Structures are given as C-alpha cells and as structure tokens.
Amino acid sequence: MTESNTELPLVSVLISSYNHADFIEASIRSVYAQSYPNIELLVVDDGSRDGSVELIQQLQAELGFDFLAQPNKGLCTTLNEMIARSRGRYIASLGSDDVMLPERFSLQVPFMEQHPETGICAGGIVLIDGEGKPLPEKKQRHRPARRLDFDDLFMDRKPGPPAPTLLFRREALDKVGGFDPTIRIEDYYVELRIARAGYFIDILEEPIALYRVHGSNTYKNRRLMIETELAIYKRFSDHPGYEATRLRYLNAMFTKVANEDRELAAELLAQIPWRSRNLKTLKGLWRYWLKR
C-alpha cells in the first residue's frame, strides 16, 4: 500500500475501533492486502476496554498507519472527525470486525471514476462467523448488480447496499454534511440523504468484503434497530411513500420479533392499524400466540 501512484485517486479507509480486539487485526491487514495501490488508512480507537489499543499500537509500529486513541465519542462523531483529517477522493468506513477482499478497490474505484453520478458504490459480501469461517451456503446472500435511487432505497424496492462494502464519493458526503451523530445506526440514514441529494447508489455483484456475524452485531439489538429505523423514516415524512414504508416495516419487524420479544412485539402490533395488517401480520400473530 503506497501513495506514490498519484495518477490513481486516493482512497481513505476509516476504521473506528470499539472493543473488537479479537477482530481488529484482520480488518487492518485486509486494507494492506488490497491490490489497489493508492490508499491511506486512519484508525481511531473509540474508548475500547478490551486491549484493542495495545494491539493497534503494535500494528501501527509495523505498518505505519495514522492512529489515535480517544475517550468514547460515538461512531458518527468519530467518523466525521476522521473524514475531516483524511485526504481521499473516496471514503470507505470499515467496521473493526469486518474484512475487505483484496480486489475491492480495484473494482470500485474504476467504476466510480466512470460514473460521476454515483455517490456510493457497494458490492457483494460473504458472511463469516466469529472465527472467520464462511457460513453455510444456504445463509449466504447472492444478489445481482443493481442501481438504486432514493425511492428504491426508501421504499425497499431493491435490496440495499451491504454496510461493509460502502465506498463514498467525498463530494457526496460533503454535500449532505457527513454522518448524523443523532442517529445511532449511521449507514442507512447517510445513504438516504445522499440518494435524496440526487446521487445513485450502485451495487456490484462481486463479493468484495467479509461480514462477520457474531454475538455483538448491532443488528441483533432489535429494539435499537427498530427505533432507529422508524426515526429515520420520520425524517422523510414529507415523502408520499412514507406511511406505506413505515407500515411495511412495522409488519415485517412484528413478524421477526413475535417469538423473540413479546413485549416489543406487542408494542409494534399496537402501531399497525387493522386495515394495514397483512399476511405477515397473521404469521407474526401465529408466532406470538404459539410462544405463550
């Protein structure tokens, strides 16, 4: 990894580390394994208490990337500060528990250079477990290449971009003011804002990252995910599809949590009017009563 290839756009990779001592080394080394030669890496430890700082310092001494350790500020604030210090035309935020595949930027950067209307380029993922082993084939997500505009993303017309693969055009991030610290789950909201600003989101078919499934994944905190998603939808309540989108999501989440968390399921069901209940609601009710 070098910055001497000045004819190629610089990619800034940002890793905000938080209590991922078991995974952070694989994430960092995957950046240095890229076939694309013009990359800078910035790493910030955001208040870890598990020995991450000492491990990252050892890796910094070996590899020479930019590293700061700080008290916990939260992911969005940390990412915005890292963006301000970075120099790349393109920005990639990598979770400190995820891994890039070697051809990632060699695929994404040429695509972005050829498509100035694209604000975010993403790609496919391979799901792995906590030890780095691929999950069974039946659990993998193989999806075709696709282009999304705001309506596609907001109304869930097409599958959205996998978070570990997002490559942002700096210009697009700057246009929407970066990440919003008031939103706990940052990626979906910034995607929507960039799409609403007039950019497309393009998702390549090729797998370009490994997404690690383990006990502390954010998506497993159902209440946080649901409350955040509904708050995000509300930010776009002026959109004509807002109510349909909100109700579709409530129905889907009620079905998911019906046999996991009866209290949360009851709260969601109370928000779904009778006229808006559908086959998913019935499926969720079956799970809900079966759990009693």
pTM of the predicted structure, to 2 decimals: 0.91
Q: Does domain 11-212 have CATH number 3.30.470.20?
A: no
Give the three-class secondary structure for 172: helix
Residue 6 predicted with pLDDT over 70: no
- Residue 163 CA, distance from chain mean position: 2
The two tokens of residue 95 are 């979770």
Residue 216 predicted with pLDDT over 60: no
pLDDT, residue 3, reads 45
Q: What is the mean pLDDT of residues 239-265?
A: 93
Residue 111 predicted with pLDDT over 60: yes
Q: How far apart are CA 227 and CA 206, in angstroms?
A: 32
Every domain of the chain and the residues it spans: 11-212, 221-290
- Residue 218: pLDDT band with limits 50, 70, 90: low
pLDDT, residue 287, reads 83
Angle at 288 between CA 283 and CA 289, to 5 degrees: 105
Cα–Cα distances in angstroms (integers) from residue 231 to residues 81, 141, 226, 234, in the given order: 24, 27, 9, 5
